[in-house]
Structure 1
Amino acid sequence: MDKFNTLLEAAQLAATRCGSWSFATSDDRYDVKGLLVLAETSDSETPIDEDSFYVVSRAGAIGLCEDGEDIDWLFLTGSSEDEDLPATYQVDPQINFCPKCGSGVVSGARFCGKCGNRL
C-alpha cells in the first residue's frame, strides 16, 4: 500500500488505478476530475495532522490513517468490494541482507543482486 502526506498526492496515484469512486459514508460519486478538485480543496482547507497520512490500495481506494495504524477508508472503487481492504496499516519488513548468501541487498529489491535468490 502506498502512503502520502496529502489527499491530492493520494488522489493522483489513485487516478492511475481507477476512474471513479464513491464516498465511503454516502452515495456521493466522483470521477477523476472531481476527486482531484475535492482533494486539492480538502488539503488547503483542512490539512491533516503531521502524524496522519493517506494510503492508496492496489485498486485505487483511498484511506486516512490518523493514528499510524487504523485506516478509515474514505473513497472506495467499484472493485473495492472485491479487494480485501485492511483495517490497519502495517509497514512491510525491510530485508537488508540476502538470507541465502548474506550479501547486502538494495532496499525494495525482489531478488539478491549477487546470487539471484528471491527475497
Structure 2
Amino acid sequence: MEQFNTLLKAAEYAVTRCGSFRFATSDEKYDRKSLMAIAEVSDAENPADEDSFYVVSPGGAIGFCEDGEDIDWLFLTNSSIDEDLPTALQTASQIKFCPKCGSGVIPSARFCGACGAALQGLKRFSIHD
C-alpha cells in the first residue's frame, strides 16, 4: 500500500495499476484522464492537511486517511471489487499481496486464490516499504 500527500500523486500512481475507476459511493465512472482532472481540481480546492494522506491499493483503488488510521476509500477499480480493501491502516500493514495480480492473500497461503500464482517467500508488505 503506497502513501501520497496529494490526490494527484495518488492518481498518477493508481493509473499505472488500472485504467478505469468508479467513485466509491456512486456509479460514476472515470477513465485515466478524467481521474487525473478530478484529482487536480480536488487538490487545488481542498488540499489535505499535514496529518492526512492518500493511499493506493495494489489493485489501484484510492483511499483517504484523515486520522492516520481509518481509510475512506474514494475511487474503486473493477479489480478492487474482489480486492480485500482494509478499513484501517493498521490492518493494511498486515496484509500480504500477490506479486502477480495484486490481490490480498491469506497470510499462510501457498498460492494466490485469485490467479493461482505461487506465494513462496512472499514477504509482508508494510505501508513503509
Q: Tell me which interval the TM-score lies in, with the shorter structure as reference length.
A: 0.7 to 0.9
> What percentage of aligned pairs have identical amino acids?
66
What's the counterpart of residue 28 of structure 1?
28
| CA RMSD after TM alignment | 1.7
Which one has the largest radius of gyration?
1
Give the C-alpha shift of residue 92 in structure 1. Answer: 4.7
Q: Superposition pairs for residues 3-82 of structure 1, below 5 Å?
A: 3-82=3-82
Q: Deviations over 1:28-56 (max 9, x none)?
A: 11000000000001001110111000000
Q: Counterpart of 2:63 in 1: which secondary structure?
A: strand
What's the counterpart of residue 108 of structure 1?
none
Cα distance between partner residues in 1 of 2:11 and 2:83:
18
Cα distance between partner residues in 2 of 1:48 and 1:92:
22
Q: Counterpart of 1:80 in 2: which secondary structure?
A: helix
Cα distance between partner residues in 1 of 2:89 and 2:30:
25
Unaligned ranges ≥5, structure 1? 94-117
Rate the CA distance shift 1:67–1:15 in 2: closer, same or farther, 3 A: same
Kindly report structure 1 stretches of 4+ aligned residues shifted beyond 4 Å.
Answer: none
Cα distance between partner residues in 1 of 2:57 and 2:93:
14
When the two structures are aligned, how many residues end up with a matched partner? 95
What's the counterpart of residue 103 of structure 2?
none
Q: Which amino acid aligns with 1:88?
A: A
Q: Counterpart of 1:39 in 2: which secondary structure?
A: helix
What's the counterpart of residue 83 of structure 1?
83
Rate the CA distance shift 1:92–1:24 in 2: closer, same or farther, 3 A: closer
